[in-house]
Structure 1
Amino acid sequence: MKTKVVIVGGGTAGWLSAGIIAAKHCANSSSTQQTEVVLVESPEVKNLGVGEGTWPTMRDTLRQIGISERTFLSCCQASFKQASKFVAWSEGSDEYYYHPFTAPAGYGAVSMAQAWSAKDNNVDFESWVCAQGTICQQNLAPKLPQMPEYAFSQNYGYHLDAGKFVQMLHQHCVEKLGVKYIQGHVEQIIPAENGDIATIALTSGEQIAGDLFIDCSGFAAILIGKHYQIPFASKQHILFNDTALAVQMEHGSDEVPIASCTVATAQENGWIWDIALQNRRGIGHVFCSDFSTVEQAEQALFDYVQNDPYLASKKILPRTIKFTPGHRETFWFKNCVAIGVSAGFVEPLEATALVLIEKSAEWISQQLPRERSAMTVLAKRFNLLTSQRWQEIIDFLKLHYLLSNRRDSEYWRAHQSVQSIPDSLQESLLLWRTQAPGVYETNQRFELFSSASKQYVLYGMGFKVDQSCSTQISQKEDLLIKRLRNETLHSTEKLLGALPTNRQFLSRIQQV
């Protein structure tokens, strides 16, 4: 029995979904293949194009799809991302901390967080347990040039040009993976007797039937929203930001450093992202329209750009993106599943957009239903898992705000309101007051944010643990902690002397 998967919408969500599913079920198969993947894209819709930061999961995704890392880096003007750097989030001055992609030394074997919390030292947590923040501060690459593709000295993801990424995926999916591409605008959705989508009709008159329809139509949400009327659950009472101003700025020269992390700089009523590619930087201001006007946000963005010595022209003409933070109440309904912005959208803090696309498409690829009865069971499980992931994202993003000591604006003061903090996050904070986040505190097998990530944010923001409640460190654990600490110091020194800068590594790629 052949299963026909119809993806409505291109962009990053559509083409990543097509590539992940086709790579497993269509590539290198015979004429008797059981799966057909069709992507329908309207020529009238432009790619949102703000998802320029990825998690390390993208390395596995690209490898599974069959794309060379060298090709990807060159085609997408991509650079390495090893961490997120948070500036002025705690006190509103020049202080900063890193949330790196490399876990603390000894993670899962011993709690370095507990040992660090018990010490009275001037070394920040991330530097005490990991070399990656120090490496990022020097704009170094996460690997040596002679290493194989996707191998690393320090765990990493990417910064990429979203438009070029879509073009590369489009070409690869069609030419290498057998995805059928149809350009056209969906005019009508024709239901089956059981309420499933039977076919979609294009303005050209062509009708496309399918077994599973994936809605990647972005904010339009043509299938899950307009057709099925699945409600959208706003989370603006938790995450206030609803507007973004985005610009693309050229590097001042071919010699300026390329940052090896996403920089998130807190502002009076929001924060500014800064993502460095090989040829340019993507910079944007995310804010809440209840606390700031567009003109005020533009001025904050202008001031940020003016104060940067590494940019070329200082003129900004930002694109405005309005959004309501939140997600669908149901993600898979009947034979339709939403992936990407059609499923939900929140601010780009911690770059969750692309990883949710990857994880959703991978789950569907691994569990692709061959019978309609199986689809009902899988839809129920997918909805439960995806709901948990959205709750996890919302809690984790909110954590960054409520830990802040900033009280310089109503925006920051409002984030401290108990009414704006989810019950699940309040419970976690009660737990973390007496013990560091650990690997056993959750039963979720596929959690997005590990306890290591929570440690980096908590202690980077100055969160304090009640030492009177802490479990005493045994002599055996103490010896292991001392050894791991020495190894971290040695590793940091060694990597600082061996790794090339981001620009050096990427320039070498372009010359080959």
Structure 2
Amino acid sequence: MQSTDSLSIEEYVIVGGGTAGWITAAILAHSLKHFKNVKIKLVESPDIPTIGVGEATIPSIIDMLTYLKIPLVEFINKTDASFKLAIRFDDWLQQGHSYWHPFGKIGNAIDNLPFYQHWLKHAKHQGQYQFSDFSPSVALAEHGKFYAPRPGEKTNLSASSYALHFNAGKVAEYLKTYSLELGVEHIKANVTHTELTTSGAIKQLKLDTQPVLAADFFFDCSGQKALLIDKSLRVGYQDWQSFLPVNRALAVQTKPSNNIAPYTIAKADKAGWQWQIPLQSRTGNGYVYCDDFIDQAAATTQLLNRVGEENCITEPRLIRFKTGKRNKMWHKNCVAIGLSGGFLEPLESTSIYLIMRAALNFVQALPDKNLHQPSIDEYNRLMDNEYLNIRDFIVLHYCTSKRTDSEFWQMWQHLPIPASLSQKLDLFTSQGRLMDNPKDLFASDSWYAVLAGMQVTPNSLDPLIERSNFSLIEKAMHDSYTALQNNARQQRDHKQYLNNLIK
């Protein structure tokens, strides 16, 4: 009978560096640091530059730093980071219109009904407040302020939450150092061939700097090349361009602004949308578009006109992509993480989250050498849910637009949407209710924020709203909004807050 120890996986190989590779290495090395015989090796091509996607994040990045026991202030200093409280969406509903998708809670439940239902009644009575007016994160963002809630402290700003903007290249370097200190071996080489076992699993890799590299388990973090999951294991790809047709991105860096905004801007354009991500020493900018409606030269011109060519510190860089995901993220003894596993446009800053979630889900489903199929199936189910939920949330921003000023936006007036999103919208537009989906990355307040921002109005109110005293709630809304604004104004400017951290 085989001992338990002999079944433990002892050798892991990660193919690819960059953000995906080094996040995977860091999580794996930290999680397995008490396993005596485990060896982790990362193979990184010296010839392939890092794409560097994911310079804006969501609050889960703070959870990852906490998990890895990385000091937040140190990380901010090393990665040129700034804080992010929300995303401001400009020109999505109509040109000239803006709304917020904030982090953290928006209002509080009243009489066991979501705050949204009470706000909806307020709005139907021609009320003066927007739904996001009751978000602590929006109150801070609108005034250019920042506040980090302290554990146990209860103020009207305590329900705010935050993420980070950062230099993705510096994040990869930081996590590389972190991983090497935990014993990860870094191999600079190109993978020239993958040798499979008779059962179709990966046996070993041939490199251009050494004969072979064998392991028990492999992670494909090789980006869109997908050297293992596609080129060797032939796992198919689900193309979602029928739902999300944008397929190109141009990225350019500009000089920093005088006031570092604590939020991302996503500005809709005639063939897609443009981003603005403020860091300490520079601003990240980009144009995500569909090349059926604009060519690269015209897209470059539009982007440079917006940011001011004289402000650029890099040349515009083109990134091609195809929205979708692998049929399976985990196949045999290989898990695809990052662009090798799938791509969703960065509208809601989810790329880093998906990398982190893929690595953490693997650790939570840690296999032995038997690689039990039920565990693999469950991992794939969980990752499928992540991608599908995020896909639907991104489509929501487009399909609810009323813009018809270009062929791109005219297309969106007729483009089919996923059945899962259609069902959710049907439920919402009836009485303002949302499907209960605890596995959705985006909680109800996020869906409410985008739906309210895009002026998707339910046909009826929840009948239970009539249990509440409307006049008292109206007064409470006024008092809450006023107090929130007053408290937000008194906080430190975002730039001042950063300067105090990095001095």
Question: What does 1:25-424 correspond to in 2, within 5 Å?
Answer: 25-26=32-33, 29=34, 33=36, 35-93=38-96, 95-107=97-109, 109-119=112-122, 120-127=126-133, 129-143=134-148, 154-175=160-181, 177-251=182-256, 256-306=258-308, 313=311, 317-374=315-372, 376-418=373-415, 420-424=416-420
Aligned-residue offset at 1:486? 5.6
Q: Distance in 2 between matches of 1:496 and 1:350?
A: 25
Q: Distance in 1 between matches of 2:486 and 2:159?
A: 11
Task: Tell me how many residue pairs correspond in the alignment.
Answer: 489
Q: Distance in 2 between matches of 1:242 and 1:373?
A: 36
Q: Secondary structure of 1:279's partner?
A: coil
- Contact kept, 8 Å, 1:273 with 1:284, in 2: the verdict is yes
- Ranges of 4+ aligned residues in structure 1 off by more than 6 Å: 144-148
Counterpart code for 1:169: L
- Contact kept, 8 Å, 2:333 with 2:371, in 1: the verdict is no
- Contact kept, 8 Å, 2:249 with 2:318, in 1: the verdict is yes
Unpaired runs of 5+ residues, structure 2, are none
Counterpart code for 2:485: E
What per-residue deviation string (whole Å, max 9, x for no partner) do you get for residues 164-200 of structure 1? 110000001111x222222211112121222111111
Aligned-residue offset at 1:275? 0.2
Q: Distance in 2 between matches of 1:145 and 1:475?
A: 35
Counterpart code for 1:19: A
The aligned counterpart of 1:425 is 421
Question: What does 1:1-12 correspond to in 2, within 5 Å?
Answer: 1=5, 2-3=8-9, 4-12=11-19
- Contact kept, 8 Å, 1:248 with 1:283, in 2: the verdict is yes
Counterpart code for 1:463: V
Q: TM-score, length-normalised on structure 1?
A: 0.90
Q: Distance in 1 between matches of 2:205 and 2:42?
A: 12
Percent identity of equivalent pairs: 33
Q: Distance in 1 between matches of 2:106 and 2:399?
A: 24
Distance change (3 Å), C-alpha of 1:366 and 1:291: same
- Contact kept, 8 Å, 1:250 with 1:312, in 2: the verdict is no
Aligned-residue offset at 1:317? 2.7
Q: Distance in 2 between matches of 1:437 and 1:36?
A: 49
Question: What does 1:402-481 correspond to in 2, within 5 Å?
Answer: 402-418=399-415, 420-438=416-434, 441-442=435-436, 444-467=437-460, 470-476=462-468, 481=473
The aligned counterpart of 2:502 is 510
- Contact kept, 8 Å, 1:114 with 1:435, in 2: the verdict is no
- Contact kept, 8 Å, 1:200 with 1:209, in 2: the verdict is yes
Aligned-residue offset at 1:205? 2.3
> How well do the aligned residues superpose, as a CA RMSD in angstroms?
2.4
Counterpart code for 2:20: A
Q: Secondary structure of 2:235's partner?
A: coil
Q: Does 1:499 align with 2:495?
A: no
What per-residue deviation string (whole Å, max 9, x for no partner) do you get for residues 300-351 of structure 1? 2122113xxxx97258731111111111111111111101000011211001
Q: Distance in 2 between matches of 1:187 and 1:243?
A: 28
Q: TM-score, length-normalised on structure 2?
A: 0.92
Q: Distance in 2 between matches of 1:293 and 1:320?
A: 12
